[in-house]
Every structure is written in C-alpha cells, then in structure tokens.
Structure 1
Amino acid sequence: MIEARWATYIADDLRRLGHALGGPLRETGLARADLASPETRIPYAAFMALIERAALLLAEPAYGLKLGASHDVRDNGLLGFIALNSPTLRDALVNVQRYLRVTNEGSDAVIEAAGPVSALRFRDADPALRGLRHNSERVAAQFVKGARELTRAKATPVRVEFIHSRPNERIDYEGILGCPIRFQAEWDAILYSEETLELPVVGADNRLLATLEAACRKIIGPRPPKDDIVHAVREYVVHRLAKGAVPLGDVARHFRMSNKTLERRLGERETSYRDLVDAVRCDLAKHYLADTDMRLPQIAYLLGYSEPGPLVRAFRRWAAVTPIQYRQQHR
C-alpha cells in the first residue's frame, strides 16, 4: 500500500488539463473515494498504473520527471517534514530510508557508501513493476529538487541511475536532473558526494524532528525503553555496519563508558559485544536474503564485510546452509 498523496496530485493534473477522472480510475482499479484524502492508503500497483496512464493521456514523455520537480518537500507529508528537520542532507536521506514504510510499503530503499560518494538506492518491491519508468523518474526528480530546497545550495548529484532503458522520446534528463544519467542499472539510485551530503539543512529544528520521529515510530512500532542497553547497542551497530566493522571502542565512546563497563553491562544481560554483533549480522542477513533481491556483495557490504567470503562462512555457522540456499528456501 501507499499513501494516496501523489495520486491526488496526478488527479489534479488530469482535471486541470481537461481529462475526466472516471476512465483512468476505473482502468487502474481506483475509485474517487480513494483520492478523498492524501493519507488514504491505496494499492501500490494501482498507483503505478495511474501514473503511467496519466503520462499517456497527457502525451507527456517526461511526465514523471516534471511531476516530481513541480512539488516541494512539504508536499510529501510526514516524510517531507522529517527531511526538513534533519540536521544534514545525509541525515535527511537516512531518515527517508528509515521511515519510508510509514507512507510507502511498495518500495525497497537502501543507503550505500562507496568511496567518495554515497547512494540512496530504491526500487519497487514487486519485480513485475520494475521498469515502469514514470514513478522512478518522479522520485529522482523529487529528491534532486528536494536536496536543493533543504540545503538552499546547488546540491547536485554525482549521477542518477535508472533500472529502465533510455526511452526513444526526446527527454532532457541531464537538463532536468542536472547530472549524468545511467540507464539499465540494477536499482534506481541518486549518488551524492560526501561533501554534498554534509551540507546542513537550513532551518532544521531538532525538537520538531524528535516529535516527528516519535510519530513515525508510533506507526511502525515503539522502541524498547531507553535503559535497554542491549537494544541501544544493537540499534547503534545496525546504523554503523554499512560503514564497516564496528569496533567495541567506538561503541563504548558513543555511550560514554569504558570498554570494560560496556562489556560488564552487556554481561549483566547475558550477552557479550561479540555475540551481539554476530546476532545483528545474522538477523540482517536473513532479512536481506528472504525479503529483498539484493546481491550477495551488497549484503556483505551492508553487514560490514569487505567481501562476500566472510559472510558466506559466517552464514554457514548461523544457519547451516549457504546464503543462496537460504534465499531459495525462504522465497
């Protein structure tokens, strides 16, 4: 499911340009009542069909790009205000990825660091919908414009990537997105330099961000109590793993305690730091294998391994099967 927010914007475009809504809604399995409120939940596949149908009716090959570029960050509702109050552009992208399922259950998203650049990668969870280009292009244009709005700076991506092939129509991708474009990629993606990601979000309010994040957590489920040291360390490790292995000393400094104190606190909960990291990696590996189509090198990277080999050996210890066998068993 997905919020009807962007479907209502599409309906506004159709009405403004003289098209009756009855036909497109029937063709996509929607009703007028589905668009009564931006917060209404509608099937993700129906939304995808609607944006593709609108592009045909409007005879606009760049419809998705222009739709995304025509709306402000605030037009994204709760998720937009989360981004507006994040400290930096990097934090904004991380928070969008973290809370995406509050408003959109139809897309997968992951943030990857690769040397001097980082990428926000996204794609439809249903492989049958991948390659329908207008929503991918809407999201890309929305992020490119949104980054400039958040930072009030140029904030130009290093590159934008799309799963679909370059269309035969003449579309000024480079002019609209302001950067080189790569087609036929494995994920849709927006890549930014580390320097750009550190740009501050102008006007961000930390107190408002805390309130908005609390609203998101209420939707996706509450956090355990703050004094749960095991949960706190697990959460910190999860957020850090994609940058590489997380040394005990880094974690201890983050929680303002010595290595020995942290190990003692974890020991009181009948675990150790090494066992906790192992459990986190095991849980995440099983999730990525069962619930996403990410390749093994991507999964290894997200778990803090430099290559797939150590992941394969560790996974055999965790599950007594290889990662590929586990994926086949749980599909």
Structure 2
Amino acid sequence: MTTSFAIVSNLFFQSKLAGTDMSVKKVRVARGAFYSHFIDEFERRGGPVQTWMEDAGLPLVMREDPDSYVSSSAFWSFLSRAEKNIGEVEATGNAVRSLRLGTFSLPTRTAISTAPTLISGLQQLVQWCPHENSDRSLWLDNRHPEYIRVFSSSAFSKLGYHANYLQNWAAIEVVRHFAGSSWVPAEIAFQSKLPPDERFYEDVVGARLFEGQTSAWISIPKKQVARMLSASTVLNMVQAAAGSVAMADNEAIRELLKAFIRDGKSVSVEQAAEWCGLSLRTLQRLLTKTGSSFRSLLHEARCEIATEHLMDGDTRVIDVAMALGYQDSSHFTRAFRKVTGLTPTEFQRQLQKRAGNPLH
C-alpha cells in the first residue's frame, strides 16, 4: 500500500560496496514476505510457529502483511529454534526454493522484470535489494576474465546450513528471468563453511561450489551475458556496477515499529532495542546519528498507519486513536498534525475532495 509516508528510495550508484563491513552495528530488517515462507514450511511440519514467533520477537502481522518489516536477528533466532526442534534442515531448503521474483515488493520486481538486459536487471537487484532486506549487500564485479560475478554479503550468513540457500537465490532468480528457469551458475560460493544438503546439489548440477568464503557469489559466463547485450556494455560494466543505498537506520526502525503497532502491541524503546538485537545504548546512539528520536519515529509509524485507516472516510478519528494506542483523540490529533501538517479530519476532507465527494 502506498501512503503519504512511504519510503522513497534515493537510489544512485556508488563506486564500490565490496569493502562494506557487515559487522558494524546497525538496525537490520527485512520485508516479512521473505521470512513467511520459512514459517509456513515449519508450520506444515507441525511446529508451534506462533509460540516460536512470539518468543523470538516476530510480529504475527507479518503473515498477513508481506510488506511489513521485521527484525532480521529475531528471524534468525526463530529459524535456529525451529531447525533445532523440528530437526529437519531440509525444511529451510524447501522454503528458499519457494522464493521467486514475485517475493519482492511490486516496485522491485517491476524494476527487474522490465529491465531491457540481464546486466540492467542485475543492477536493479543491487539497487533495490537493501530496501527489501537491509541486512544484505550486493554488488557486481567484472574483473574475472571469464565471468561476471554477483556478490552478496550478510552479517548472518555464517550461522548455519540455511545460509547456503539464502545467500544467492535472488541473483539466480534474476538471471533465470532472462536466461530461463533451468539456468545454473558456473560457480556458486557461500560464506558458510557448512556444506549444502543433497537436494541442493541436485538443483545446481554442473556448478562448482566454494564454501567458507568472505562473501558469497555466483559466476555468470561472459559469453552468456554477451548474447543479451552489446560487448561495449560488458566492457563498461565495471564502471556502472556498484552498490546501493542501504535503508537508513531510522527508516528501518520506523518500519519495524509499524509491524508491532499493527499487532496491537505497546512499544517502548527498550522493546525496540531487543527486537533489533541491539543494546539500548547502541540503539540510542544510532538514533542520535540519524538526527531522530525514538518518540518521533513512533509518532511517524503510528501516523503512517493512521493515514491508511483514515482513507476510509467513514472511520472515526477516536477509533483510529484508540487502535494506535493514544490516550484520547486530542493526543492523536496533535501528533498527527505535527507529522503531517494536517489534523486527521482535515486529512480526510482533502481525500474526499480529491475523490469528488467533499464532506459537509
């Protein structure tokens, strides 16, 4: 859903992202769409996923709203517990195999699917992926004489078997969009030192596998790429290929707060730090660096959700205020006006006028 407070990506190419230190403390979030596949898979195997989600700090609303953002560290906590209790690493592999280009948000998959060439499609993936999953960094590299490589790095990619599946699926799916569903990379590398299961080898017959690397990557033969775009584009790709603008910490926190607000949970800065997998001091330091405060982000998150409710002209302001945890409508009105410049009633009137049905 597009709202007046939706994140607008300021995208541009940087010279290099390969040196990014993923160990740096930051808020790491991802769209619930990526993680719902895993939850569904473990539920099919009889796991008490709702209990595990609540214990890990995952909002239940993510199963209904694929565009809600959740904490990456909370998901890894859920996944580790699920694998330990269910005892089937295969479940993780099945979940990743169900991920497709359609798992991305509409803007991301539109940018990729409408790209005129494979390289431009991969560049769109590099640009948009951190806004789908702020934990992951991707970049392209043209230095190998035979291959173009799509690199991927994540702070959580050395945790276990699941890293082998998650590292490269997006890049492979994008190439298959251009080259066909049976395409297999010439090389696949992982950060994890644990080998994939047998089913994984069946999916990538013919690919050379490398484990325990500093970054993950897939290799695409330049001969294949050359069939899809001009030679000059391939030669110039090293200048065009680069990283992307990661989601800012304040944006990530605001998106995370929205998911828990929709879940009907009360939210404190201490809880937010726990959900982000950070200490309270670290979270406060990150907020200070972005020039934000937890209180302002909480108001922004609530007001963004409020705009969605207020788009229904029959919705009462007091009902929205109560649903979002405000003491009364006056507190909500002040907070809403501070963020939007309008009162909730004025906001509804403007929407009605645009629809040609003014309120009287």
User: Which TM-score bucket, shorter chain as reference?
Assistant: 0.5 to 0.7
Taking the TM superposition and a 5 Å limit, the aligned residue runs for 1:18-37 are: 18-37=46-65
Asked if 2 retains the 8 angstrom alpha-carbon contact of 1:44 and 1:106, the reply is yes
| Among candidates 100, 115, 121, match of residue 86 of structure 1 | 115
Q: Secondary structure at 1:160's aligned position in 2?
A: strand
The one-letter code sitting in structure 1 at the alignment partner of 2:210 is R
Per the alignment, residue 88 of structure 2 pairs with 60
Which letter maps to 2:138?
Answer: A
Q: 2:201 aligns with which of 171, 174, 183?
A: 174
Post-superposition Cα deviations, 1:222-262, rounded to whole Å, max 9, x if no partner, equal: xxxxxxxxxxxxxxxxx998626x9xxxxxxxxxxxxxxxx
CA–CA separation in structure 2 for the residues paired with 1:64 and 1:83: 26
Q: Does 1:98 align with 2:127?
A: yes
Maintained 8 Å contact 1:151/1:199? no
2:148 is aligned to 118
Contact 1:67–1:138 at 8 Å: present in 2 too? no
Contact 1:88 1:198 survives alignment (8 Å): no
Report the TM-score when normalising by structure 2: 0.50
Report Cα offsets for 1:288-330 as digits up to 9, x if no partner: xxxxxxxxxxxxxxxxxxxxxxxxxxxxxxxxxxxxxxxxxxx
Secondary structure at 1:157's aligned position in 2?
Answer: coil
Q: Decide whether the 8 Å contact of 1:68 with 1:142 is kept in 2.
A: no
Q: Is the 2:32–2:66 Cα contact (8 Å) retained in structure 1?
A: yes
Q: Which one is further off, 5-14 or 169-178?
A: 169-178
CA RMSD of aligned residues (A): 3.3
1:113-192 counterparts in 2 under 5 A? 113-114=142-143, 115-124=145-154, 126=155, 129-133=156-160, 134-152=162-180, 154-167=182-195, 170-178=197-205, 179-192=207-220
AA of the residue aligned to 2:166: R
In the alignment, the residues of structure 1 paired with residue 81 and residue 118 of structure 2 have an alpha-carbon distance, to the nearest angstrom, of: 33
- Residue 195 of structure 1 corresponds to which residue in structure 2? 223
The Cα of 1:21 is off from its aligned counterpart by: 1.8
Unmatched 5+ residue regions in structure 1? Answer: 202-238, 247-280, 288-331
Q: Indicate the percent of aligned positions where both proteins have the same amino acid.
A: 12
* SS of corresponding position for 1:192: strand
Per-residue CA distance 1:145-196 (angstroms, 9 max, x = gap): 55324432643211100011134x8534332223121001110111111133
User: Structure 2 unaligned runs (5+)?
Assistant: 1-28, 246-360
Q: Displacement of 1:135 after TM fit?
A: 4.1
Give the match's secondary structure for 2:219. strand
Equivalent position amino acid for 2:97 in 1: A
Aligned residue type for 2:179:
T
Asked if 1:46 corresponds to 2:41, the answer is no
Number of equivalences: 208
Offset from partner CA, 1:98-134 (integer Å, 9 cap, x none): 111221111111111122201111111x3xx230241
Contact 1:5 1:39 in 2 (8 A): yes
CA contact (8 A) 1:10 1:54 kept: no
1:117–1:191: 8 Å Cα contact kept in structure 2? yes
One-letter code of the match for 1:123?
S
